[in-house]
Amino acid sequence: MTTTELLVRRERLLGAGTPLFYQEPINIVRGEGVWLFDADGRRYVDMYNNVPCVGHCHPHVVEAMHRQAGTLNVHSRYLHEGILDYAERLTNLHADALTSAVFTCTGTEANEVAMSMARIATGGRGFICTDAAYHGNSAEVSKLTRAKDTDTEIRAIPYPQRYRPLQDGASESELVELYLAEVRAAIDGFEANGIPLAGMLVCPILANEGLPDIPAGFMPRAAEMVRDAGGLFIADEVQAGFCRTGRWWGYEVTGFVPDIVTMGKPMGNGMPLAGVVGGTELVDAFRQRKRYFNTFASSPLQAAVGMAVLDVIETENLRQNAADVGNYLRGELAKLQVRCEPMGDIRGHGLFIGLEWVSDRAAKIPDRDGAVVFVNRLKDKGFLIGNAGALGNVLKIRPPLVFQKEHANLFLTAFEEIVGEFYGKGS
Amino acid sequence: MTTTELLVRRERLLGAGTPLFYQEPINIVRGEGVWLFDADGRRYVDMYNNVPCVGHCHPHVVEAMHRQAGTLNVHSRYLHEGILDYAERLTNLHADALTSAVFTCTGTEANEVAMSMARIATGGRGFICTDAAYHGNSAEVSKLTRAKDTDTEIRAIPYPQRYRPLQDGASESELVELYLAEVRAAIDGFEANGIPLAGMLVCPILANEGLPDIPAGFMPRAAEMVRDAGGLFIADEVQAGFCRTGRWWGYEVTGFVPDIVTMGKPMGNGMPLAGVVGGTELVDAFRQRKRYFNTFASSPLQAAVGMAVLDVIETENLRQNAADVGNYLRGELAKLQVRCEPMGDIRGHGLFIGLEWVSDRAAKIPDRDGAVVFVNRLKDKGFLIGNAGALGNVLKIRPPLVFQKEHANLFLTAFEEIVGEFYGKGS
């Protein structure tokens, strides 16, 4: 079936407007490690997908899934040791205060649980988020999507950053105070409207916002301010978690301990698996109020697959790999920056890199169209990345954690070639 | 690890109040067909679990999962023929008007999508449900849980039934009119408050309400009334679908064609897989407004597993089996009814049976405690069922669709023995 035939069929069966990547979409039929293969046998270095974090079709994960699916897979209202072993291992990877877990199937569901948990614990309703956030697609959680303060219970602050700061010329410590004042204003706004605060929910590295350099010290100070006002601080680790940043959790990168953490995407390497960890008292109170039950979650299958993912991260030392290869790639991209005018800023942590694409580096004019063209050209050359960020102009590089220096070098060669094609004068 | 040790560990790791079945919970370690096995090697006939609809650990499904997990599992923003083949096969199993699909991971997410789709298509906000419904656990969907009209956009009607009807002595056709008047009142109530109608969302066989005998003709008439008022009629087939009733869909049992159908539980035999089908225009409008994306949904893995489940239902003729064995079991239970005073009513369709448990058959006094004792005694004898319904007093019998007459006979013997133990005089 040709791409055109597939597109027509897809529009009919899944609806026109179903999201699709690339101007000429690709028909992927096989994956292995960092590689994806299309129906014509063309291979691509996958530098986008964080979900298959230990690599596409990792045999250890595939076998764990196969073994458990052939042994038992039922809901969680019977006892099962597997899910307890997984909960124990997972909470042990977190800060000491995070001792109990609630499992779900998707990150959206995890954020639903976290919001409910915070509301139950605090008796509050109001949530603070950033103005370029995405935390999920349910009616409740999507109120946080690029929130415009249209819901009385949601207030968005400008996301903290150093590239296009709230005030030009402000020092990093001044920026911390400026962004904290925004948090303060949100808290005061809720209070003025008689809406008690439930908490603040953010990605600890602001991934959807475009991986900004967050003024150092903002996160722990914001957490303190939210707690002082009676709220809880929730870290959405759906993108940042599981060693993506070279640390186990994004909150280690920005230096704070959340009250509640939500996780998802890479957790099951593609098996629907997500969840929440928090202090046992928080989880108890949530359980007792909600009697939360999720048919497919906390299953033996989720547990076996989740466990296998942790096995691979540890045995293949993928945390260190993410740190090392990420640093290498960022360093090499920095060398190319001088010949690549649109690369206005290079940011990120570990194997999560954002390149701010601009049409004028001094004026920092965002160039979403240019970013899209570059992403499509890279795809043609066999490298899959995406564009994202608050303004859609950030090249998003986020390969499986098994991405190696040799793959980085292939990418850098292609990147340099495209820079030469597009911005040839300088090369 | 002993049951007590597991319970203590579970409370610490998953929170106190995490739902658990049976007064003495069971530690299930293996499943095969209709059988579940605990850690002590005891076996149970599973007569509760609808999720593993083609039987626990069915080799065809396990192999399909294994093959696809080892080949490719990525998100849906690349083209992939598998999900289109599955969408085509699934929509072809539905009424002609239901031509396009949106996939999700859970039934909750499917109902989120359906509500959003109906709101987009109609421009309305208000939803009608029943007063003993459950459609999911998100903030939005759980507004429909045993709704008390506390949300201005939700109105609940008394669920239509013949056992404890709105008016004693009314004929079936009079009951239809009485319950339709409740739908009318809900529509009028929205109108009076300036809330345009989005639709009505019900399980077509009212599973959570306790599988009542729905006055014949209510559903198609209610659908007509809702459409006349500008709303859409949504069938939640999460429990009723995939041949549970001896028909493919619950809406065939109660005789109507919905505008939107949601599906879940049995769809992937335990793999998180759920979805929505509707007319292509409805799905298009939803896609275009929402650009809905669900990380783990519409994946090659979901497609392969969903397809394998359909294969087994068809090749093993499980639709017919559900009809035949269900009829047999209901017939044999009816013979026991004369000696079992608490069995006030026997209801259901196919392999979904509800036994109304009462302390006084003439007065129809619900006996939840008695139902719980009976369920636990059956568990001790090796048969897993549950209790459910609006009043918690309905024995819920809902085995995997591979349940055979021989399993029914084992159950009937145990059932009769317990009736003898508890209500010995009559036997």
Full DSSP string of A330-393: HHHHHHHHTT-TTEEEEEEETTEEEEEEEEETTTTEE-HHHHHHHHHHHHHTTEE-EEESTTS-
> What is the pLDDT, as a whole number, of residue B427?
41
Distance of CA A31 to the CA centre of its chain: 21
Asked whether the beta carbons of residue B265 and residue A57 sit closer than 8 angstroms, the reply is: no
pLDDT tens profile A245-280: 999 999 999 999 999 999 999 999 999 999 999 999
Q: Which residue of A has its CA nearest to B66?
A: A66
> What is the pLDDT, as a whole number, of residue A40?
96
Asked whether the beta carbons of residue A57 and residue B80 sit closer than 8 angstroms, the reply is: no
Distance from the A127 Cα atom to the nearest Cα atom in chain B, whole angstroms = 15
> What is the pLDDT, as a whole number, of residue A218?
98
User: Is B14 in CB contact (< 8 Å) with chain A?
Assistant: yes
Chain A residues with CB inside 8 Å of B106's CB? 105-106, 109, 294-296
| Residue A425 pLDDT grade (very low, low, confident, very high; cuts 50, 70, 90) | low
What is the C-alpha separation between A199 and A189, in angstroms, rounded?
A: 13
Domain boundaries, chain B: 3-54+317-426, 60-315
| Nearest in space to A297 (alpha carbons), one of A280, A274, A279 | A274
Asked whether the beta carbons of residue B270 and residue A73 sit closer than 8 angstroms, the reply is: yes
Q: What is the ipTM of this complex?
A: 0.97
Chain A residues with CB inside 8 Å of B40's CB? none
- Cβ atoms of A160 and A199 within 8 Å: the answer is no
Asked whether the beta carbons of residue B71 and residue A30 sit closer than 8 angstroms, the reply is: yes
| Nearest in space to A53 (alpha carbons), one of A240, A234, A324 | A240
**What is the identity of the amino acid at A181?**
A
Q: Which residue of A has its CA nearest to B13?
A: A100
> What is the pLDDT, as a whole number, of residue B43?
98
Strands B43-46 and B383-384: parallel
Count of Cβ atoms closer than 10 Å to residue A11 Cβ: 18
> What is the pLDDT, as a whole number, of residue B423?
82
CATH topology of domain A3-54+317-426: Aspartate Aminotransferase, domain 1 (3.90.1150)
Chain A residues with CB inside 8 Å of B21's CB? 77-78
What is the C-alpha separation between A288 and B346, in angstroms, rounded?
A: 33
Q: Which residue of B has its CA nearest to A23?
A: B78
What is the C-alpha separation between B13 and B7, in angstroms, rounded?
A: 10
Asked whether the beta carbons of residue A69 and residue B81 sit closer than 8 angstroms, the reply is: no
Q: Which residue of B has its CA nearest to A29?
A: B72
Asked whether the beta carbons of residue A28 and residue B102 sit closer than 8 angstroms, the reply is: no
User: CA dist B377 to A225, B156, B399, B421, Å?
Assistant: 54, 35, 18, 10
Torsion of CA A256, A262, A266, A269, to 10 degrees: 140
Q: What is the CATH number of domain B60-315?
A: 3.40.640.10
**Average pLDDT, whole number, for chain B?**
97
> What is the pLDDT, as a whole number, of residue A364?
97
Asked whether the beta carbons of residue B62 and residue A57 sit closer than 8 angstroms, the reply is: no
| Nearest in space to A248 (alpha carbons), one of A232, A266, A225, A233 | A266
pLDDT tens profile A34-72: 999 999 999 999 999 999 999 999 999 999 999 999 999
Asked whether the beta carbons of residue A270 and residue B301 sit closer than 8 angstroms, the reply is: yes
What is the C-alpha separation between A353 and A347, in angstroms, rounded?
A: 6
**What percent of chain A shows pLDDT beyond 70?**
99
Q: Is the dihedral of CA A393, A399, A404, A407 positive or negative?
A: negative
What is the C-alpha separation between B214 and B405, in angstroms, rounded?
A: 27
pTM for the structure as a whole = 0.98
Asked whether the beta carbons of residue A28 and residue B271 sit closer than 8 angstroms, the reply is: no
Could you tell me the mean pLDDT of each successive run of 10 residues in chain B, 427 residues long? 93 96 97 98 98 98 98 97 98 98 98 98 98 97 87 96 97 98 98 97 98 98 98 98 98 98 98 98 97 97 98 98 98 95 97 97 97 98 97 97 98 97 68
Which residue of B100, B107, B290 is in closest CB contact with A12? Answer: B100
What is the C-alpha separation between B216 and B221, in angstroms, rounded?
A: 10
Q: Which helix (H) or strand (E) holds B62?
A: helix B59-69
> What is the pLDDT, as a whole number, of residue A427?
41
pLDDT tens profile A115-125: 999 999 999 99
A32 bridge partner residues: A35
Whether the pLDDT of residue A369 is over 50: the answer is yes
Q: Is the dihedral of CA A186, A191, A194, A200 positive or negative?
A: positive
In terms of C-beta density within 10 A (0-12 exposed, 13-18 middle, 19 or more buried), how is residue A24 classed? Answer: exposed
> What is the pLDDT, as a whole number, of residue B425?
56
> What is the pLDDT, as a whole number, of residue B148?
78
Q: Which residue of A has its CA nearest to B81?
A: A6
Crossing angle of the two packed helices B81-92 and A3-14, in degrees rounded to 10: 40
B388 bridge partner residues: B394
pLDDT tens profile B263-304: 999 999 999 999 999 999 999 999 999 999 999 999 999 999
User: Is B41 in CB contact (< 8 Å) with chain A?
Assistant: no
**What is the identity of the amino acid at B376?**
N
